[in-house]
Each structure stands twice: as structure tokens, then as C-alpha cells.
Amino acid sequence: MAQAKDAPCRKITALGDVAAQYGAIVCDVWGVVHNGVSKFPAAEDALLSARGKGVKVVLLTNSPRRSEGVASQLEAMGFDRKAYDHIVTSGDATRDLIAKGERRIFHIGPERDLELFDGLDVERVEIEEARRIVVTGLFDDENETPDDYRGMLNDLRGRDLPMICANPDIVVERGDRTIYCAGAIAREYASLGGSVAFAGKPHRPIYDLAAETIGMDEADLGRILAIGDGLHTDIKGANGFGVDAVFITRGIHSSELDGADPSEASVASLLRQNGLSARYFLPALR
């Protein structure tokens, strides 16, 4: 089982130091195996090595896209298909939520995410006709921020429309830029008193789906290792699910630590400030 929150977080030199102790790895994607533009070869090698030792690897991502879409994106980056067994996305889990409830949906997000609705008995409508909201991101995440949505969200809140958030991440790194995600819109809506349902990390449904995909259940939690760079998604989710975690420090929280190769004390302090725990940490997956 996962360690107690007051236990120390130990630096390891590589995933190979501990991988053989586990039966399965659930690994974040964006920021851990790629940066939105290109893959991280060392991460690819680490996962290939783990699979070579008989460890099952599930890529667990808050992408609002379906698993097939993420697989295609990884393939385009040249990421080796042999480095993982399965992909489970927030989009996969979100489809279950979309399928229940009112059919008329207003979609907030880019056109590339429209595949999320394929095969579902719902109707995408204009904002005036909507009975529910599904947010997968910003319409134009290269140029917009959540501030651009305040007027729209106030109007939607005034109509008391429930929201489904397909990606709880607040930000991700795309190359050398920081981009807002659907979670930033959902957070703003919740701050207005709006009702928001989440399926992705750190929430339980996506972890249950990942475990089911590899034939594991509650009795197997001590044999699962989670890897991620997001404290409020990956690490919080691992803690809530009851599994050990590797915190990747050279990611979205790097500016909160004491350098690119942080000390155990710095990592421990950051985890403690956020009420979280991780068994291990690495600057980058390797």
C-alpha cells in the first residue's frame, strides 16, 4: 500500500531502481513522456525497460481525447508502441458522464476534440439552447486565457447549467510555453457556484478504469506505481487511490523547488505544503 503522508520521499536515479517491485505502472503523458511537441527518449526507454521486466504500463492522461487519438499523437512523435500496454484518457471516462443526462450540450473547446462526442446520443447546440456544458479546453488555447470566458461563464451560471470537465488539468507545458486547459475554465465556473463533474485525475473514475483495463482491483493496489509531474492531479490522484507515486519534479512545479535537480528537503517541503505524499522522486522520467 502507499506510504503514510509523513514518510520521506526518496530520490531515485532511474525508474529501473524500483520498477521490478511493482506489477503495474500508471504513467502520466504530457510533461512526462512528451512536451506536446516531441517525445522524451529517456522516458520511452524507461517504460520499455519496465515492460521488459514484466511490468504492465498504462499511460494515464487527462487528455480530453479518446485513447485512439492519444495513441495517434504518440505515434506521430515516434513514441514506441511497445513502451506501453494501454492508454486510458480522461476523455474515455468523460464519455460515460456525457452519455447520462440531458442530450443538448454546448461544447467549450477546440474543434480537434469533437471526436469525444462520436457515437454518443447527444446533440451539440448553440449556447442559448444548451442544457449542459462540456468543456474540453479553450477555443483558442494559444491566445486565450480563462479571463476571456468570464462573461460567458457568468451567463451559464445564471441559467444554472451543469458542467462536465473533460480535463481537470489547469495548465500544461507545450514546448516552452504554458497553456491553459479545461480545468482552468471549470475552476472559474466552480468559483461562481456552478456545478462541475470531473472524470480525470485526481478523481477516482479514471483510476478504476485504468485498473480494470489491466485486470487489477482493490487487492492489487500495493503493486501499482503512479508516475506524474502534477501535484494536484497525478500525486493527489495516486494518494486518493492508495498507490505509491513517483513525483517528476522537472515539470509544472519546477519553479517551486530549489533548482532543476532538487534536494529531498525541497521536495518534502513542497509535498507537505500541499498535504500530499510520494514515495519517490525523479527530475525527469528515465
Phi, psi (degrees; rounded to nearest 5) at 52: -65, -20
SS3 content of the chain, % helix, strand, coil (to 5): 40, 20, 40
How confident is the model at residue 1, as a pLDDT?
A: 47
How confident is the model at residue 174, as a pLDDT?
A: 86
Tens-digit pLDDT profile for the chain (286 aa)?
455 556 789 999 999 999 999 999 999 999 999 998 999 999 999 999 999 999 999 999 999 889 999 999 999 999 999 999 999 999 998 998 999 889 999 999 999 999 999 999 999 999 999 999 999 999 999 999 999 999 999 999 999 999 999 999 899 888 888 899 999 999 999 999 999 999 899 999 899 999 999 999 888 999 999 999 999 999 999 999 999 999 999 988 989 998 889 999 999 999 999 999 999 999 999 9
How confident is the model at residue 2, as a pLDDT?
A: 52
Residues forming a β-bridge with 164: 134, 197
How confident is the model at residue 87, as a pLDDT?
A: 98
* Of 241, 239, 259, residue with least CA distance to 250: 259
How confident is the model at residue 6, as a pLDDT?
A: 61
Q: What domains are there in the chain, each with its CATH number? A: 10-40+47-91+212-230+250-282 (3.40.50), 94-198 (3.40.50.1000)
How confident is the model at residue 126, as a pLDDT?
A: 97
How confident is the model at residue 267, as a pLDDT?
A: 97
DSSP assignment letter at 26: E
* Of 259, 211, 254, 198, residue with least CA distance to 231: 254
